[in-house]
Amino acid sequence: MTDRTWLAPMRARSADEPHRASTPLELFFDLCFVVAVSLAAAPLHHNLAEGHVLIALRGFLMVFFAIWWAWMNFTWFASAYDTDDDVYRLTTLVQIAGALVLAAGVDSAFEHSDFTEITIGYVVMRLALVAQWLRAARSDPQRRATALRYATGIAAVQVLWLLRLLLPAESAATVPVFVALVLLELAVPVWAENAPGGPTTFHPRHIAERYGLFTLIVLGESVMAATVAFHDAFDERAEYAAGLTRLAVSGVVIVFALWWIYFDRSAHRLLTSLRTSILWGYGHYFIFGSAAAVGAGLALAVDHVTDHAEISATLTAYAIAVPVAVYLFFVWLLHVRPHQAGPLRFAYPVGVVLVLLTPFVPGSIELIAGVLVLLVALGRRTPDPIT
């Protein structure tokens, strides 16, 4: 038997609630977003292999924003207002359905600059969240102004996203309008959380856990690419086996090190104010996106070793080096830097520079793996000033 009801009051949950963990519904939500992340990484890999670097980057950054922003907004809302009643569950399942529609439109966005399906799926997810915020406004009088600001701001921006579809696919205004709408989306939480009723009551440990789980999802793309390298090393002709084996081993070391660096210290103690929490949450766009892009870079390296890619060895190396460097910089900025003191606090910025220099020398992927292992080792020697 269950005590879950059809429609419960959506009251704010306590920010220091004990034993707060991700729910099965949240885990299912993440699982469905795996599809969207995977489908976004695949055309990034294929377009890079064909030498369409700018098209690959533009498409990936735009598509990944829709995935990340919808996931992030649900996560923070759930941390404050998860009632787990039937209406909440059904509304969340609508958001998941929107994510699947978004995922189905990824190929059209990359190949034809047609964002119709992605926009429809995105708007479905966002309007379902509007319904959740309206429920919160009704049940939480103290933060009613905050919830109504969220509902109003999100709904208004969705109208603008739909109007953007009226632009021709190849219009010069497509990217500037996209950037403007992204800035409006990013502004909504800042505006809403500063309402007279006060900010929402997110749970720091719950948020840190949710972000950690999504980091595992995007790192999964890199795990898959390393697995493909091992598979091909055994199946391809002997002339490719040595190169693929080196790539597979280096790829595994890179993925393991990226995992270690992110999860080495707990992040929940850093979420001490609204400002730091927003910056921490927004900065994860670069962590999540770069982690997924590392997988695409490793897949591209497999194509290059087997002579299936049309770009040079240097550009192939950069397809791994750039996302690794971005990942390192933002993990350092958001997670590592507050825990560091003394000369070792400069290790990560130096590591970023070294990673970006590796494509100019032979064995670049092996060198990237070496730099990451060194950073992991140095991290274990750094005292933690946060108690």
Question: Does 302 reside within a domain?
Answer: yes
Q: What percent of the chain has pLDDT over 90?
A: 50
- Give the total number of structural domains in the chain: 2
Question: Does 198 reside within a domain?
Answer: no
State yes or no: pLDDT of 381 exceeds 70: no
**What are 149-185's pLDDT values in tens digits?**
999 999 999 999 999 999 887 777 888 999 999 999 9
Mean pLDDT over 59-82 rounds to: 92
The answer to whether residues 145 and 213 belong to one domain is no
The answer to whether residues 303 and 332 belong to one domain is yes
Question: Does 3 reside within a domain?
Answer: no
Q: What tokens were used for 164? A: 């953007």
The crossing angle, in degrees rounded to 10, of helices 24-49 and 53-81 is 170
The pLDDT-based confidence of 1 (bands split at 50, 70, 90) is: very low
Question: Does 8 reside within a domain?
Answer: no
DSSP, collapsed to helix, strand or coil, labels residue 344 as: helix
**What are 244-261's pLDDT values in tens digits?**
888 888 988 999 999 999
Q: What tokens were used for 211? A: 């972000």
Mean pLDDT over 317-334 rounds to: 94
State yes or no: pLDDT of 355 exceeds 90: yes
Q: What tokens were used for 194? A: 């500063």
The answer to whether residues 232 and 92 belong to one domain is no
What is the residue-averaged pLDDT of the chain?
87
Mean pLDDT over 187-211 rounds to: 91
Structural domain harbouring 160: 24-193
What is the pTM assigned to this prediction?
0.91
Least confident of 14-28, 56-70, 188-202, 231-245: 231-245
The answer to whether residues 111 and 228 belong to one domain is no
The answer to whether residues 139 and 223 belong to one domain is no
The answer to whether residues 172 and 291 belong to one domain is no
Question: Does 267 reside within a domain?
Answer: yes
The answer to whether residues 213 and 253 belong to one domain is yes
The answer to whether residues 252 and 311 belong to one domain is yes
State the virtual CA torsion across 210, 65, 122, 6 in degrees, nearest 10.
10
pLDDT reported for residue 146:
94
The CATH number for 282's domain is 1.20.1410
The answer to whether residues 116 and 230 belong to one domain is no
User: Per residue in 280-318, is it b (16+ CB within 10 Å) or e — as a string?
Assistant: bbbbbbbbbbbbbbbbbbbbbbbbbbbeebebeeebbbb
**What are 18-55's pLDDT values in tens digits?**
888 889 999 999 988 888 888 888 888 888 888 888 88
Question: Does 127 reside within a domain?
Answer: yes
**What are 117-149's pLDDT values in tens digits?**
999 999 999 999 999 999 999 999 999 999 999
